[in-house]
Structure 1
Amino acid sequence: MLKASRNKTGIFMRIRDQIEKLAKDQRGVAAIEFAFVVPVLLGLYFMTMEVSQGLEANKKTSRVGVIVGDLITQQQTISRSEIDAIMRVGEAVVQPYNRSSPSVYVTAIRITNESVPKVKVVWSRKLVNGGASNYLAKDSTTTVPAALKVPGSFLIRAEVKLDYKPVLTWSSSEQKTLGLASAFDDIQMDETYHLRPRMSQEIPCGDC
C-alpha cells in the first residue's frame, strides 16, 4: 500500500517537473510573437503605401488643372487642336500612375455686361479616356463662384477629375477576395480652377 502511494507521488512529481520545464521553455516564443506581429506590420505597410500614393495622385490632379489653365491663359488666340494638345500635356502629369486616366475639361466663359449678368460659354473642350471632343454648348449658361461674377470679364475654367484606383482594389478578382477593401475602390478626386487671360482680354477659338 505504501509502495503504491509512493508511485503515485513519483508520477505527480514527474508531471510537475514536466510542467515547470514547459513553462520555462522559451524556444517557441519568438516564432509565436512573429506570427502575431507580421500581419499587423504588413497591414501598416500597405496602408502607408496606399495613403502616400493617394496623396501624390491628388497633388498631381491639382497640378494638371493648374498647368492646363496656365498654358491656355497665356495664349491670345487658340485653336481646337492646341487646346487638345494642352489637355494631353496635363494628362501626362499623373504618370507613372496609370490605373485610370484623368478627365480634363476646359471652358471659356464670358460674363455679360447686363444689369443682371449672365454667365455664358464661349467655347468648351474635354479630354475623356484619351479622346478629345466638344464639351458644353456655345452660348449655353454655366456658373462661376459669386466672387468671380464680374460683368464684362472673361474666364478660363479648367476642371480635372481622376477616378483613383488603390492598388489593393485594382482588379475585379481582387475586389471579390478583399471584401470591405473594395469599398475604397474608385476614389473620386477633382479640382476646378478659374483663371483670367494674361495676354489679351479674351481668348477666342475659331474652330471650337
Structure 2
Amino acid sequence: MMLMLNAIGETCGAFRRLVSRFRRETAGVAAIEFAFIMPVMLALYFLTMEFSQAIDANKKVGRVASQVADLVTQSNSVTRNDLDAIMKIGESILQPYSRSNIEIEVIQIEITDEKTPKALVDWSRRMKDGNFGKGPNKGTRVEIPEALMVPGNFLIRAQSSLDYAPVITWSASGKKATGLVAAFDSINMSERYYLRPRMSTEVPCGDC
C-alpha cells in the first residue's frame, strides 16, 4: 500500500511540474495566436476584395447603359450593324471582368400623340451572351416614368444587366457551386437610362 501511495505521489508531482513548465513556456504562444487569427484575417481580406470588385462592376454596368444610350442619341439614323457595334463598345467597358456576360438592350420608344398617350416600341436591338438579335417587337407597349410621357416624343432606352459571379463561386470549367457558396452564386445588377434624340426628333433604324 505504501509503495502504491508513493507511486501516486510521484506521478502527481511529475504532473504538477509538467503543468508548471507548460505555463512558463511562451515560445509557441505567437504561433498559436497566429494560427487562430490568420483564417479570420484572410476571410476579411477576401471579403473586402470581393465587395470592392462588386461595387466597381455595378458602376460599370450603369456606365454601359449610359454610354450606349448616349451614342445612339447622337446619331441621325442607325442600322442593325451600327447598334451591334455600339453595344460591343458598351460591353468593353466592363473589362477586365469576364466571369459572366452582360446583356444589353436598346429600344426606341414612341409616345403616341393622343389624349391618353401610350409608350410603344418603335424598334429594338439586344445583345445576349455575345449574340445579337431583336428585342421587343414593334408596337409592344412598355412602361416609362410618368414625367417622360410627353405625347408625340421619342425616347431611346438603354438597359444593361449582369449576373455578377463572385470570385469565390466562379469556376473556369463552368461547374456550379454547391453548399453554402451556392447561396452567393450570382448577384443581379442592372441599370436603365432614358435619353431623347439629340440630332433630330427620332433616330430611325431602317433594318431593325
CA drift of 1:149 comes to 0.8
Report whether the alignment pairs 1:89 with 2:89.
yes
Instruction: Give structure 2 stretches of 5+ with no counterpart.
Output: none
Percent identity, aligned pairs only, is 48
CA drift of 1:101 comes to 1.1
TM-aligned CA distance change 1:26 to 1:82, over 3 Å:
same
Report whether the alignment pairs 1:42 with 2:66.
no
SS at match of 2:94: coil
Structure 2 residue aligned with 1:99: 99
Question: Counterparts of 1:45-194 in structure 2 under 5 Å?
Answer: 45-171=45-171, 173=175, 175-176=177-178, 179-194=179-194
CA drift of 1:26 comes to 0.8
Q: Which amino acid aligns with 2:62?
A: S
Q: Write out per-residue CA displacement over residues 5-62 of structure 1, whole angstroms, 9 at most, x where no aligned residue.
A: 8887666555433321111111221121111111101111111111111111101100
In structure 2, how many angstroms separate the alpha carbons of the residues matched to 1:7 and 1:120?
98
CA drift of 1:206 comes to 1.0
In structure 2, how many angstroms separate the alpha carbons of the residues matched to 1:5 and 1:185?
65
In structure 2, how many angstroms separate the alpha carbons of the residues matched to 1:5 and 1:84?
93
Q: Write out per-residue CA displacement over residues 131-188 of structure 1, whole angstroms, 9 at most, x where no aligned residue.
A: 1111111122111111111111110000001011111111265723xx2121111211
- How big is the alpha-carbon RMSD for the aligned residues of Structure 1 and Structure 2? 2.1
TM-score by length of 1: 0.91
In structure 1, how many angstroms separate the alpha carbons of the residues matched to 2:134 and 2:176?
36
Between the two proteins, the alignment pairs up a number of residues equal to 206
Q: Write out per-residue CA displacement over residues 49-106 of structure 1, whole angstroms, 9 at most, x where no aligned residue.
A: 1111111110110010010000000011111110110001001110110011110000
User: Does the 8 Å CA contact 1:168/1:174 hold for their aligned counterparts?
Assistant: no
Q: Which amino acid aligns with 1:41?
A: M
Instruction: Give structure 1 stretches of 5+ with no counterpart.
Output: none
TM-score by length of 2: 0.91
TM-aligned CA distance change 1:47 to 1:8, over 3 Å:
closer
SS at match of 2:133: strand
TM-aligned CA distance change 1:116 to 1:32, over 3 Å:
same
User: Does the 8 Å CA contact 1:161/1:188 hold for their aligned counterparts?
Assistant: yes
TM-aligned CA distance change 1:72 to 1:29, over 3 Å:
same
Structure 2 residue aligned with 1:16: 16
TM-aligned CA distance change 1:4 to 1:76, over 3 Å:
closer
